[in-house]
Amino acid sequence: MLKSVSGAPPVRLAIIGAGVMGRNHLRVAKLMGIEIAGIADVNTQQARDIAGEFGVDVLTNLHDLDAAVIAVPTAVHGIMAFPLLQDGVHCLVEKPFASNESECRRLIEAAAIGGAVLQVGHIERFNPAMEALAGHAINPAHMTALTARRMGPASARITDVSVVADLMVHDLDAILALKPVAVTGVEANGGRDHAEAKLTFADGAVATLTASRTSSERIRDLAIDTVHGRYHLDYLTRSLTARGQPAEVFAGDALGAQLKHFMGSIAAKSLPRVTGEAALEVMKLAWRIEAALGLQV
């Protein structure tokens, strides 16, 4: 079982949301030995079913919590997370962070007021191949072109946001983490379920992103062209090809690594890898793309 530091009682984790992601978080947390406070959902029967499956309690109120995973629809992220963060409850908020900039900023401010860890669930940062790529410490100035593809068939799991907020945000987060350079131009075409975007950086580099919920083929990859050669990352196979070398495949579970990092940030009282501020920058870029697509009014 994961313990907190200094002999204090272990941090008990609540799962808010009994959908697919809430269930996944609960399953992984149980496997990791994290102490579970319980699971909550407006659909009480669904919460009871999952609680029974994993042998945990159904939460009837959200008082006196230590930490929580917020895995509810994006439109209610703020409603659920704001009072918890303000009360000092550490929160891992699933992506996309929130529906608008003011809501994102309210959550960031609430975490500051409550002294709580606020981490946003951009899980690809914890993909072992992405961690290996980050380990290469590529100079952002040496990156000339980045190409990201995230495509697959439609899913009943996400219906409340566009493909940009649903899928492309993963790649926007990865690209902004690897190349923290101002984006000076945004072009996009497509629609709610299939979108292509071109980003131009202040140094002249270009990123091209494709996200689709209408493709029969499932693809999740990222290519980076640099002045010293190309890197190619496949998120699905957790493999990395670096500058013509044979591809390396890396073992590891991204969801488990993300939860471990969240709990570690709580114990160490340190900033998480994906802060609210970083997630807000991703969302601001996603909203620029949606505006270019005519999806925002």
pLDDT-based confidence at residue 156 (cuts at 50, 70, 90): low
Range list for CATH 3.30.360.10 in the chain: 125-252+283-293
pLDDT, tens digit, 9 for 90 and up, residues 88-102: 999 999 999 999 999
3-class SS letters over the chain: CCCCHHHCCCCEEEEECCCHHHHHHHHHHHHHCCEEEEEECCCHHHHHHHHHHHCCCECCCCCCCCEEEECCCHHHHHHHHHHHHHCCCEEEEECCCCCCHHHHHHHHHHHHHHCCCEEEECHHHHCHHHHHHHHCCCCHHHEEEEEEEEECCCCCCCCCCCHHHHHHHHHHHHHHHHCCCCEEEEEEEECCCEEEEEEEECCCCEEEEEEECCCCCCEEEEEEEECCEEEEEECCCCEEEECCCCCEECCCCHHHHHHHHHHHHHHHCCCCCCCHHHHHHHHHHHHHHHHHHCCCC
Res 209 pLDDT > 90: yes
The pLDDT of residue 1 is 34
Range list for CATH 3.40.50.720 in the chain: 5-122+257-274
The pLDDT of residue 7 is 54
The stretch 118-128 carries a mean pLDDT of 98
The pLDDT of residue 161 is 87
pLDDT, tens digit, 9 for 90 and up, residues 226-272: 999 999 999 999 999 999 999 999 999 999 999 999 999 999 999 99
pLDDT-based confidence at residue 122 (cuts at 50, 70, 90): very high
Fold adopted by 5-122+257-274:
Rossmann fold (3.40.50)
Q: Domain 125-252+283-293 carries which CATH code?
A: 3.30.360.10
The stretch 212-224 carries a mean pLDDT of 96
Q: What is the mean pLDDT of the chain?
A: 94
The pLDDT of residue 106 is 98
pLDDT, tens digit, 9 for 90 and up, residues 277-292: 999 999 999 999 999 9
